[in-house]
Structure formats: C-alpha cells, structure tokens
A and B are shown apart, each in its own frame.
Chain A
Amino acid sequence: MEIIERFLKAIEGIFTDSGIMTLGWQNYVMIGVACVLFYLAIKKEFEPLLLLPIAFGMLLVNLYPGITAAPDTTLMNAADCIAAKGTTEGYATTIINGVQYYNVPHYGGLFYYLYQGVKLGIYPPLIFLGVGAMTDFGPLIANPKSFILGAAAQIGIFITFIGAIFLGFTDAQSGAIGIIGGADGPTAIYVTTKLAPELLGSIAIAAYSYMALVPIIQPPIMRALTTKKERSVVMEQLRPVSKLEKIIFPIVIVVVISILLPDAAPLVGMLMFGNLLKESGVCDRLSKTAQNELMNIITIFLGTTVGATATGVNFLSFNTLKIIALGLIAFMMGSACGVLFGKVMYKLTGGKVNPLIGSAGVSAVPMAARVSQRVGQEENPGNFLLMHAMGPNVAGVIGSAVAAGVLLNVLR
C-alpha cells in the first residue's frame, strides 16, 4: 500500500512540476515565435548563425524558465540540515535568536551563468575581436572619405532616439532602441545591456531581423533617392594599400578613439586588436582562433542567452511592437541618410562617387556592401561597386561603435 502511495505521490510531483502545469499562454505563444524564427533561419537562411541560437534559447527558456534562474540560498535549521544532507561542509552559518541555521545554496540555471558574459559586457567585444580578424580595412584606408558615409548612416540612431522618447520610453531605453539603426548586433547588445537590460530580448531580435532583411529593406530606399545617372556611376579603381598602412591603421584608430571616446574603447579596441592580429602576419594562430573557434563559441553563448531573455512575460508587450517599429525606422533612416550623403559626395566630386555606396554605411558587414553592388549592377552590369562599398561598410562598424560611445557617455 505504501509503495502505491509513494508511486502516486511521485507521479503527482512530476505532473505538478511539469510544463503542463507551470507554463502560461505567453510561453506557448513564444514557442510559436521561436518556431517562426527556426523557419526563417533554416529555410530562408536569414542570419542563421545568430537567429538559430536565439530561437533555440527562446524555445528553451519558455519551456523551462528555471534555466535562467539566479542562484540563491535558503536558511535551514542546523539540526534539520545535518539530518537531511548528512554534511554541511562549506555552508555559511547564521544565528537568529540563538538558533543556528545553515545557508543552503541553490545553484542557478545554466543560462544564468552563460548570460553573465552578456550582462557584464564580455561577449560583444569578443565578437568584435573575431570581426576585426576577418575584416579588411584596405578599402577604407585607400579612400578615407568613406568615413563620412559611415558617419551619415548613424544619424538614424539619433533620429529614432527622438521617436522613442515621444513614444514614452525613458531616455536610456530610447538610446538602446536607437542603436538598432547602427545595424550592428554586438553593438546593439552591448549598449542595451548597459542602458536598458530589460529590453534586451526585443532589441536583439529586432536588430538581427533587420540585419537579415537588408537586401529587402535597402534597395527601394536606394532607388527612390537616386537617379538612374547617379546609380550608373563607375568609380575609379582604389589605390593599392601597403601592408605597413594596414598594420598602422588599427593602432592609430584605437589610440584616437580611446582617447576621444573612452566608452567606445572596449568595442573598438577589440575590433582593432583582431585586425592587428590578422594584418601583422605574425600571429596567424591567434588570428585564426579569433576568426573561427572563439567567434563560434561566443556566437553560441551570445545567441542562446540573448534568446533566453525573450520570455513570454517580457516579450509579449506593446513595447515590443513599438521597438520593432522604431527599429525599422532607425534602419531606414540610417540607409537613407547614407545615400543622401552619397549624393552630396557625388555632387562635390563632380560625379565620381556613386551614391549607392552610402547605404553600406549601416555596418551589416558585408551584406550592405553586397546590396550596393547588386543595385549598381542592375543599372550597369559591368559596374563593380563592391570594394568601394566595403569602405563605408567597415567605416559604419567604427561609426556605430563611436555612436554607442556617445550614447553610453550621455545616457548612463
């Protein structure tokens, strides 16, 4: 009889703790959202390297919210504790009214520990290390004027800030929402964890979704703002850049930006360190590790833990819809400002600059540059804008890190 009783009690306990009893409707909706992201990542190949881990983190946290639980301790009467656990070695003791208690630790969930890399701002700079090791700044060094286009594309960040303020967000939250316009995932995550960690899930998903949608969002804006003649401009070949210039470049950039904007130093510093590993030619092993193993490991940790912030209760709110709308505006404004400044450069240079390369200023390396190439080739199949667009594209990475530094400095 006792056996049956124990068996039934165990079954009841398992049923009570199961998802069937503990999950709310929001969790089920989020599981659906995760499945949509799976579809976009696997079938449509929209930024799959990040969207897939994000979707899986989202799925897991909504199935088992305890995976993000923080560690804590409970007080347990000393005698009871010894009787129950046998040993109390390493437990801290507390005495209340002459009675001794042990602080029994409860360890946190897996994602709680992995999330510390996001919370403490460790993962985004490490991602930048890998990005730096993979980036060729040659086109930017050959044509430093590209920095103007990289700066112009950041205007969307500050215009969206205004929109967010008027939609009722705090100034810190508005800064975090605006940074979506930089089209740079690690920067968006870095700024959001510092300014508005409660919005991290929505902002990260909006940022990566829009980055994946660059080939759909940008071309209509580019065509609307340019004439056929402007789109057909064939640019002069870039000058060759020496190895010495490529080695000096990261050192100069990190010195200048770290002195002028110390808040941008972790991002720009790691970006340039990665680039120096590559360009120096003497740290091949380190460069390869930064580009491959380290980058992949951090991407897995970052993606899953950021996805795990999108719990039903956090994500399913009107604020998320507002963030998604504002993110789109930020992105479109950034692209438009880049193209408009490209037109200014077209006029100033007497038609030597193709304005289409301006839209590549919104980071999103190398997707935005490829879009410039594609739209340019629609007008003139023999026109190769890719390397010219890579200049503003990598300038946009530096520009968004600078904009992040401004936001952190002013709003934190």
Chain B
Amino acid sequence: MDLMSKLTISASMLLTGFVIVFSVLIFLIFIIWVMGKIVTGAQNASANRKKIKVQKLDEKPEKVEIKKPAPVIKKPESPSGTPDEVIAVISAAVYSMYGSKQKVRIKSIKKSSSRSAWANAGVLRNTRPF
C-alpha cells in the first residue's frame, strides 16, 4: 500500500466512522427524548384522568354508594415532622448504646443528608474498591 492510498483509506475511515457513529447516536438522543416526552405525557394524562374521576365521585356522593373507610386516627408527630415510631427506634438505639446509668436526653432529630441510609450504603458499596 503506497502513502497516497494509506492517506485515502485513513481519511475516509475517520470521516465515515465519525459521521455514522455520531449521526446514529444523535438520532437515538432524539428518539429517546421523544419517547420520554410521550411516555411522561401519557402517564401524566392518565394520572389526571384518575384525579378527575375521584373528584367526580366526591361531587356526587348521593348517587354512588361508597363505603366509608374506617376513620384514620392521625398520630401526633413531633414538631420536626419525624414520626413517633422513628423517634422511638432512635431512642431505643441510643438507650442500648449508653445504657440506663448515663443520663441522655435527645433534644432533636435531624436528617444528616438528603440521601437515604440505603442510598448511602449503595454509593459506598459502588465506590469502595478505590
């Protein structure tokens, strides 16, 4: 293969590869973007329809016999919004760590990060090898 043919084949392959790979993948971006819009739109519309249906049922209670669900007794929550069960679990964990001899008072309970403990565990697991 002489120099000229080497240059020709190299340039043509670079151009072909670059153009086709980018064109196909950019086309896929468009397709996936459209797919996302359609699916999200359809799902939102479906959710709205359900909402409207529920509202209509609420508006005409005399026509539709709906069994009233048992009244749900709202449990009081702490000022921070943390459910009592969670506070009880945390208190029990603190008690088991410090024991009854030390006087411990829990003043507040705050989330340490926006990520859940499970998400943190997952991230740690995925990044630990380094």
Contact = CB atoms under 8 A, between A and B. Distances in A.
Given A248-B35, A256-B31, A242 B43 contact: yes
B26 interface: yes
Interface string A383-409: 010100000000100110011001100
Contacts of B36: 141, 144, 245
* Residue from B13, B20, B22 whose CB has the most chain A CB atoms within 10 Å: B13
A410 interface: yes
A11 interface: no
Given A144-B29, A252-B32, A370-B129, A242 B14 contact: no
Given A147-B25, A260-B24, A245 B16 contact: no
A171 B9 contact: yes
B6 interface: yes
B32 A144 contact: yes
Nearest to A366: B126
Interface size class of A (residues with CB under 8 A): 35 or more
A157 B43 CA distance: 41
B21 A154 contact: yes
A162 interface: yes
B110 to A, nearest CB: 17
Interface string B1-38: 10000100110011011101110111111011101100
Contacts of A121: none
A406 B16 contact: yes
Contact of A402 (B13, B24, B39, B40): B24
Contacts of A150: 25
A158 B18 contact: yes
A341 B9 CA distance: 26
B35 A252 contact: yes
B17 A157 contact: yes
Interface in A139-175: 140-141, 144-145, 147-148, 150-151, 154-155, 157-159, 161-162, 165-166, 170-171, 175
Contacts, number: 109
B33 A144 contact: yes
B39 A242 contact: yes
B25 A158 contact: no
Nearest to B129: A370
A232 interface: no
Interface residues of B, number: 31
Contacts of B26: 147-148, 151
B96 interface: no
Contacts of B29: 144-145, 147-148
A244 interface: yes
B16 A410 contact: yes
Nearest to B33: A144
B55 interface: no
Nearest to B42: A244
A377 B126 CA distance: 13
Contacts of B126: 366, 370, 373, 386
Given A151-B21, A370-B129, A386-B126, A144 B28 contact: yes
Contacts of B13: 158, 161-162, 171, 175, 410
Given A154-B21, A256-B27, A248 B10 contact: no
A261 B20 contact: yes
B130 interface: yes
B82 to A, nearest CB: 23
Contact of A406 (B10, B21, B123, B129): B21
A141 B32 contact: yes
A165 B31 contact: no
B59 to A, nearest CB: 30
B75 to A, nearest CB: 29
21 contacts: A141-B32, A144-B33, A144-B36, A145-B29, A147-B32, A148-B26, A151-B26, A155-B18, A165-B6, A166-B10, A175-B13, A242-B43, A249-B35, A252-B31, A256-B31, A260-B27, A384-B123, A402-B20, A402-B25, A403-B21, A407-B17
Interface of B: 1, 6, 9-10, 13-14, 16-18, 20-22, 24-29, 31-33, 35-36, 39-40, 43, 123, 126-127, 129-130
Given A151-B26, A161-B17, A175-B13, 6 more contacts: A148-B29, A159-B14, A161-B13, A244-B43, A245-B36, A403-B21
Cβ-closest 3 pairs across A and B: A158-B17, A144-B32, A162-B10
